[in-house]
């Protein structure tokens, strides 16, 4: 393998949090903790929330502005999260599925498998890019 993989990290984000912002933040931290080992192996980590959260923030602001109409309703969080992940998977080379119940992460895995994209269940399964090994 000579080219870095773009690897989507999939796992619980809102699942099991009862909407508690502190628990949601902890789930995001757990997703982000997986990014460094992927990077060390020579690849590019990606988390759907890194892309979807700014979209939600801007979309919510735009939809509530003074010129907003009913057609400009604020985006539904789950819809944006799932759609963003679905679009990202068109560019990703692999998925790392972290443990924990998550409808969205399970959906990511189904999409990846349908597209023939490798799904890793452990960091140790991710191949080390030769250039990353040489740099170590």
Query: 1 versus 79: which is more confidently predicted?
Result: 79
Return the higher-pLDDT residue of 114 and 57: 114
pLDDT in the model for residue 135 = 66
**Best-predicted range by mean pLDDT (13-27, 76-90, 112-126):** 112-126
Confidence (pTM): 0.84
Structure tokens given for 53: 């959260």
d(CA 59, CA 76): 10
pLDDT tens figures, 48-98: 999 999 988 888 765 554 454 444 444 567 688 889 989 999 999 999 999
Contact 128, 41 (CB under 8 A): yes
**What local confidence, expressed as pLDDT, does residue 136 receive?**
58
Closest CA to 96 of 38, 10, 20: 10
């Amino acid at each position: 393998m000579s080219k870095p993989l773009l690897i989507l990290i999939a796992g619980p984000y809102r699942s099991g949090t009862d909407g508690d912002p502190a628990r949601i933040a902890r789930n995001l931290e757990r997703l982000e903790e997986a990014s460094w080992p992927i990077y060390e192996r020579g690849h590019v980590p990606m988390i759907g929330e890194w892309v979807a959260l700014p979209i939600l923030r801007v979309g919510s602001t735009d939809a509530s502005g003074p010129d907003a109409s009913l057609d400009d309703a604020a985006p539904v969080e789950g819809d944006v999260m799932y759609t963003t992940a679905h679009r990202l998977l068109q560019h990703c080379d692999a998925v790392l599925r972290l443990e924990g119940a998550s409808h969205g992460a399970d959906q990511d895995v189904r999409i990846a498998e349908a597209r023939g994209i490798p799904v890793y269940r452990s960091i140790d399964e991710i191949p080390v890019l030769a250039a990353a090994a040489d740099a170590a």
